Structure 1
Amino acid sequence: MAKDAKRGRLSSIDLLPEEARPHVIAAMEALKERRRQQDDIREELNSHLLAMGQKPISRSAFHRKALWLATYGEQLTQAREVAAILAEKLNEAPQGDVGLLLNETIKTIVYDVIMEQSLNDSSASMEMLKEAALTLFRLEQARKISVVTRKRIVDDFSDKATKAIDVAAGRAGLAPEVVSQIRREVLGVIDRK
């Protein structure tokens, strides 16, 4: 079963054998639903455990697990809310801003993970710091590649647009100053000639 992240050791519920897992999951689901009293849920779990020849779970151990579940559920709800907000922002963001928004979001998550470690009185391991640094490095590299690629696309478009304007202007017999004005005003292409 899952390891208790705060204390770094397994709880009596975590130490139950695998055959008790369905009953523990049912108890956690009942806690999550919040329709029954915690003691009633614990007693039901304990009756299953006793039938299996296991020791019953104490009130304090079950309460700690319930608190852990409530905290975890709250964090999951917050993460879903943040994801919904980010998804909305991603839909609103111009295409070039999506990468930047994702980049900044991941940087914030990495920072939050490291801060969470320090707030829980457990310092971030060198492995965690190495992975965080590597992640940030890769994000920055990806951002640079994105910027370079976007610049190439814009430059390629500008070149093609300039050539197309020159060909069309030549066929139509437009004056050079009219061509320059079209480049600046209509296409937003800088006159490079």
Structure 2
Amino acid sequence: MARGRGRLNSIQLLPKECSDIVIWAAGELQAANRPQTDIYKEFVIKLEERQRESRGELDIRIPSFSSFNRYSIDLDATTREMNEAREMATAVLAGLDHNDGDDITKFVGEAIKAAVMATLRAHKGKLGPKHLFELASTMRMIAMAQATSSTHRQKIEAELAAKTKEAVQTVAKAKGLSGAAANEILDKILGVSN
């Protein structure tokens, strides 16, 4: 038996020419300003209009209300999960120095690693080789991004230290300061001594 994302629901089976109507319905459901039954009725009307406009070229099978309801429940669950993740990220990022891209990269990397591990736990023994390869590739890319971020930060720090050292030596020479005085200034600025 082939493994995959499972059977498509009736909303996923709608022709791509109906994507704008599905997006409209999702927006209305998320806005929660109207009853779901009203949104469904308008959804059906829009699909029927699209069918008439296509003059029979599109095979639009109107999803049942129960399918629409399941879609609404799934959409709501996904939105809640995304909102929770965003709230958690906001809370954690509030404690980080936003000028330190390395901290943020580490946080994002760890969050993605946690999501990958949660996926592995949730689908224990049910993931095929393709999915395992994709998850492994994701983990590898995260590790590379984190290493690149650290390497980039170290390179910038080294360049800054070199420029600072050069500037202090230039000013020290112009002001007639000794080498020892220049080194003391560098120690105080960067913790670098010569």
If the length of structure 1 is used for normalisation, what is the TM-score?
0.68
Residue of 43, 68, 79 corresponding to 1:73: 79
SS state at 1:12 partner: coil
Letter in 2 for 1:23: I
Match of 2:34 in 1: 36
Shift of residue 59, structure 1, vs aligned partner: 2.7
Q: Which has the larger radius of gyration?
A: 1
Corresponding letter in the other structure for 1:107: E
Dislocated runs of 4+, deviation >6 Å: none
Counterpart CA distance in 1 for 2:137 and 2:107 is 17
Q: 1:67 to 1:117 in 2, by over 3 A?
A: farther
Contact 1:100 1:143 in 2 (8 A): no
| Residues 1:152 and 2:164 are matched in the alignment | no
Distance change in 2, residues 1:26/1:160 (3 Å): closer
Name the counterpart of 1:59.
Answer: 65
> Does the Cα contact within 8 Å between 2:113 and 2:139 map onto a contact in 1?
no
Q: SS at the partner of 2:12?
A: coil
CA contact (8 A) 2:10 2:67 kept: yes
Match of 2:56 in 1: none
1:39-76 C-alpha deviation (Å, 9 max, x unpaired) = 22223333444563854422321111001111222234
Relative to 1, partners in 2 of residues 1:139 and 1:158: Cα closer, same or farther, differing over 3 Å? same
Counterpart in 2 of 1:164? 170
**One-letter code of the match for 2:32?**
R
How many Å separate the matches in 2 of 1:85 and 1:12?
Answer: 38
User: Within 2, Cα distance between the matches of 1:61 and 1:46?
Assistant: 12
What fraction of aligned residue pairs are identical, expressed as a percent? Answer: 21
Alignment correspondent of 2:105: 102
With 63-72 and 133-142 compared, the bigger mean Cα shift is at 133-142
Instruction: Give distance in 1, aligned partners of 2:24 and 2:105.
Output: 37
- After superposition, the CA RMSD in angstroms is 3.6
Q: Deviations over 1:91-121 (max 9, x none)?
A: x44x4x3223223322322321441353256
The answer (yes or no) to whether the contact 1:162–1:189 under 8 Å persists in 2 is no
Which residue of the partner structure matches residue 119 of structure 2? 116
| 1:167 alignment partner AA | K
Q: Which amino acid is the alignment partner of residue 28 of structure 1?
A: A
- Unpaired runs of 5+ residues, structure 1, are 1-5
Question: Structure 2: which 5+ runs fail to align?
Answer: 52-58
Structure 1 residue 38: Cα displacement: 1.4
Q: Secondary structure at the match of 1:128?
A: helix
Residue 24 of structure 1 aligns with which residue? 22
For the 8 Å contact 1:158–1:189, the answer to whether it is kept is no
The equivalent of 2:6 in structure 1 is: 8
Counterparts of 1:116-135 in structure 2, within 5 Å, are 116=119, 118-119=121-122, 122-123=126-127, 125-135=131-141
Per-residue deviation, 1:153: 1.9
2:61 and 2:160 map into 1 onto residues whose CA distance is 69
